[in-house]
Amino acid sequence: MKTYIAQRLAIALLTLVGMSIVIFALLRLAPGDIVDVLFSAAGYVNPGEKKAILQELGLDKPYWQQYMDWVRQILVGDLGKSYRYDLPAWQIIKPLVPVTVELAILSTIVAVVLGVPTGVVSAVRQDSALDYVLRVVSLAGLSMPSFWLGMVIILSLVSWLGWIPPLTYVRPTENLWLHTVQFMLPALAVGYRSSALIMRITRSAMLEVLREDYIRTARAKGQGTGAVVWRHALKNAVLPVVTVVGIEFAFLIGGLVVTETVFNLPGVARFLVEAILWRDYPVVQNLVMFIAIVVILSNLVVDLLYGVLDPRVRYA
Amino acid sequence: MRPQVLTFSLLVTVLAGLLAGAPAVGQSPKAGGVLTVAQREDTPQGFAIHESSTVSTTWPAMPCFSNLVLFHPLKQQESVETVVGELAEKWSWQDSYRSLVFFLRKGVKWHDGQPFTSKDVKYTFDMLREAPDATGKLRINPRKDWYANVQNVEAPDPHTVVFHLKRPQPSLLLMLASGYTPIYAAHVPAAQYRTACVGTGPYKLKEWRKGEFIEYVKNPDYFVKGRPYLDGIKYVVIKERGTRVAALQARQVEVAFPGDTGKTTVEQLKKAVPQLVVTRAAENVNENVIMNTRKPPFDNVKARLAVARAIDRRALNQAVHQGGAAVGVSMPSRPWGVWGLLDKDLATTAGYGKPADEKAAARKLMAELGFGPDKPVKVEIVTRAIAIYVDMASFIINELKQIGVDATLKQIETAQWHAMATRGEYQIGANLTGIGIDDPDANYYENFACGSPRNYTFYCNEQVTAMLDKQSAEIDAKKRLALVWEIQKKLEEEGARPTLTWRVDNFTHWPQVKNLVPHNNFYNYGRMQEVWLDK
């Protein structure tokens, strides 16, 4: 198992190095830089002033040197300075991370709590009226983008109740109730979409497992339906579900852009888009690296979970 | 400074009480409360107003600062008559309008407790005009041209400042009254204003949580006694427009962001919340067509005129703004501005006649250049990749097709837009231009003068430049207005940069917000010192 983990970590490290090169290169390929954006806000361009700012920010250096500077900074735990805010990038990024991580975790919980049981029920009651209803609900979830659902929720609330959840971020330490209210709706909007996917995966995996010989054996030996379904079948059907949950969680860390924007939550994804528009390289590079790390870690966790859930993986 | 006051000198004395202005009719102002205000994006340059040209900076940064003078907060239409003192208690034009002397308030403190003196004023304006001996330097200086006529700034004593001008320029006073002209502290590096704010204004910065909000608290040492009324202001950053509107409707913010509530939006809002207060006010932002005078076919005045005549401004107003904008030429007409052409003159200006006649005239001009339906001229119309730009550009394309101009749309990302325009890497474009004050000097030198970095069309006519200088130096208001009308007509005749519409805001707030009067220029009414909450 130790070798297995070591291998995964080595691959993760290589992936991160590759990612850093890709991120760095892609950012430089995009036309314009922070100085163009600064002048855009001023409505003109002055070549002399532009040159001075490029020098000040170190953007006049060759690309390889800029890359090496960034890598060196990361290695000593310095994320550089935000071009836009003139503050250490870490100071900008730090408050964003808990918001996104919390929203992603809550959304994943909503997705699992809704998706897994409905998937199981749908499989057990295959081709029944309940199955059809659940499949339609899940298809609707897949068809509706979460940001659209979020906007519909906001507009419906304001039209019917004249109320919307707080739009200024409330920290849990400030007011736990308001904080919960603030996260509940976006988590539901995002979680519903993910739950639809999990439901469908769970259903198809369960259908496959329910037809296995050992399930028939369990029934023949007099096991109750509950025990057969939830203990024997689900345990064996859960591997693809875990994969999907892992992928969904990783996707959510960087993919909550519009949900964070609609619900005005100051998270990583919303800020990342802003930073890209501003060509704020230090913030973008480090935020994307953070997302990459989360994706890699969640994949690692999924891989490790395989080992826990399926002894064959462990022994192999 | 000459001690004597000459023939054309004008002494204007403004007492502090004037600045207080009249409270809302029939109600005594109440002190207290925190006002919540919508903010469409995080302030682009922090509080560094001098390094920015967007209302996204001036609107949330103005409460921190004071100017020498300011447009009266409670008067919608700005003009020389509505200029009141802020840090300057009084002022005087001297030496035939070649010197402007300010007598400063005493006992004013910066938010960090340091005393405010004439050195701060000199520091600010030397930095702005990039004087050789300036002790401060701006990273970006978009309004340097405003002070091109200032020869030097003198601070003879701690409470007197003298602006010596190369020639008379009555407009200088108005430029100093703009929201774009705060006084910076000489003891604070200019760069620091990008992250924090040390001003003398009615509110002190409490916290700027990046991407979330900007929060101010009342300045207890504010130099106007009894002001401000509010305990604080919170600008809530809400990027998504739909969410901003919902926030206003749900009263999570009490004041909309200026320019945010278009006609359709405000109609929906009023239907949902009838008690919302809506005031129509010009933004002093116009939609215009930029044509590169260095590139064919728009190096030919006939081609530019054809474009100017082809676009039906009234139809554009209906189609894009649902009739909510104002039609006018390069200066906004009444009631949205004081310098624009009269209706009778506007009706005879190229592009403002009957649409069918105008299009026929445009086709004739194109035919004279050898273009027509059988031989259309192909152009690429550039615009910013923002909905309000794209809507306008799409309309223009349709209009141009009708005169034999085969235009295709090219959207440019914001990061590239001004660089592209400044370098002249385009043929024709759909553009928006905001002007800091309703004044010919602020507008014309920036957008039409030879060599100006914001003159994206490279239009350059020495005769027009002479006319600009003449009106700029003219002290008699009536004579100056006549000269400005002539300039407007001349610019239209030359298709210099055809204006299509002037944007008009439906400024919206909840009824408990009092004394927040939108001006016909959304860069200048963010000070908030008179605003109070009737809660």
Q: Return the pLDDT at A7.
A: 84
Q: Is the pLDDT of residue B18 over 60?
A: no
Instruction: Name the DSSP class of B115.
Output: B
Q: Is the pLDDT of residue A41 over 80?
A: no
The predicted model gives B119-124 an average pLDDT of: 98
Average pLDDT of chain A to the nearest whole number: 91
Of B511, B387, B497, B481, nearest to B435 by C-alpha is B497
If one counts every other C-beta atom within 10 angstroms of the C-beta of residue A212, the result is: 14
Q: Is the pLDDT of residue A187 over 90?
A: yes
A36·B211 Cβ contact <8 A: no
The predicted model gives A143-172 an average pLDDT of: 90
Q: Return the pLDDT at A61.
A: 95
Residue B478 to residues A135, A169, B339, B420: CA-CA distances in angstroms? Answer: 76, 54, 11, 39
User: For the segment B434-458, what is each residue's pLDDT rounded down to a tens digit?
Assistant: 999 999 999 999 999 998 989 999 9
The predicted model gives B492-497 an average pLDDT of: 96
DSSP conformation letters of chain A: -HHHHHHHHHHHHHHHHHHHHHHHHHHHHSS--HHHHHHHHHT---HHHHHHHHHHHTTTS-HHHHHHHHHHHHHTT---B-TTTSSBHHHHHTTHHHHHHHHHHHHHHHHHHHHHHHHHHHHHTTTSHHHHHHHHHHHHHHHS-HHHHHHHHHHHHHHHTS----SS---TTT-HHHHHHHHHHHHHHHHHHHHHHHHHHHHHHHHHHHTSHHHHHHHHTT--HHIIIIIIIHHHHHHHHHHHHHHHHHHHHHH-HHHHHHTT---HHHHHHHHHHTT-HHHHHHHHHHHHHHHHHHHHHHHHHHHHH-HHHHH-
- List B residues 446-505 in contact with A (Cβ-Cβ < 8 A): 453-454
The predicted model gives B311-320 an average pLDDT of: 96
B453·A164 Cβ contact <8 A: no
Q: Return the pLDDT at B13.
A: 34
Q: Return the pLDDT at B26.
A: 62
Angle of helix B241-249 versus helix B263-272 axis, rounded to 10: 30
Task: State the pLDDT confidence band at B25, using cuts at 50, 70 and 90.
Answer: low
Print burial letters for A29-67: b (CB count within 10 Å at least 16), e (below 16).
eeebbbbbbbbbbbbbbbeebbebbeeebebeeeeeebb
**Which chain B residue shows the shortest CA-CA distance from A47?**
B419
Q: Is the pLDDT of residue B10 over 60?
A: no
Q: Is the pLDDT of residue B22 over 60?
A: no
Residue B100 to residues B116, B296, B377: CA-CA distances in angstroms? Answer: 20, 45, 52
The predicted model gives A288-293 an average pLDDT of: 91
Q: Return the pLDDT at A308.
A: 83
Q: Is the pLDDT of residue B16 over 70?
A: no
Q: What percent of chain B has pLDDT above 70? A: 95
The predicted model gives B130-157 an average pLDDT of: 95
Q: Return the pLDDT at A32.
A: 87
User: For the segment A217-265, what is each residue's pLDDT rounded down to a tens digit?
Assistant: 999 999 999 999 998 999 899 999 999 999 999 888 888 888 999 999 9
Task: State the pLDDT confidence band at A127, using cuts at 50, 70 and 90.
Answer: very high
**Which chain B residue shows the shortest CA-CA distance from A267?**
B211
Q: Which residues contact B452 (CB under 8 A, 6 or more apart)?
A: B145, B445, B446
Q: Which of B211, B249, B419 sits opposite A274 (nearest CB)?
A: B211
Cβ-based contacts of A263 with chain B (< 8 Å): 243
Task: State the pLDDT confidence band at A306, using cuts at 50, 70 and 90.
Answer: confident
Q: Return the pLDDT at B39.
A: 97
Q: Return the pLDDT at A315.
A: 63
Q: Return the pLDDT at B21.
A: 36
Q: The whole model's pTM is what?
A: 0.91
If one counts every other C-beta atom within 10 angstroms of the C-beta of residue A68, the result is: 12
Q: Return the pLDDT at A5.
A: 80
Which of B45, B140, B251, B454 to mutate to test binding with chain A, by most A CBs within 10 Å of its CB? Answer: B140
User: Helix or strand or coil: residue B6?
Assistant: coil
User: For the segment B237-291, what is each residue's pLDDT rounded down to a tens digit?
Assistant: 999 999 999 999 999 999 999 999 999 999 999 999 999 999 999 999 999 999 9
What φ, ψ does residue B372 adopt, rounded to 5°?
-175, -170
Residue A15 to residues A28, A297, B375, B505: CA-CA distances in angstroms? Answer: 20, 11, 56, 51
User: For the segment A61-73, what is each residue's pLDDT rounded down to a tens digit?
Assistant: 999 999 999 999 9
B2 vs A237, which has greater pLDDT?
A237
A168·B212 Cβ contact <8 A: yes
The predicted model gives A263-292 an average pLDDT of: 93
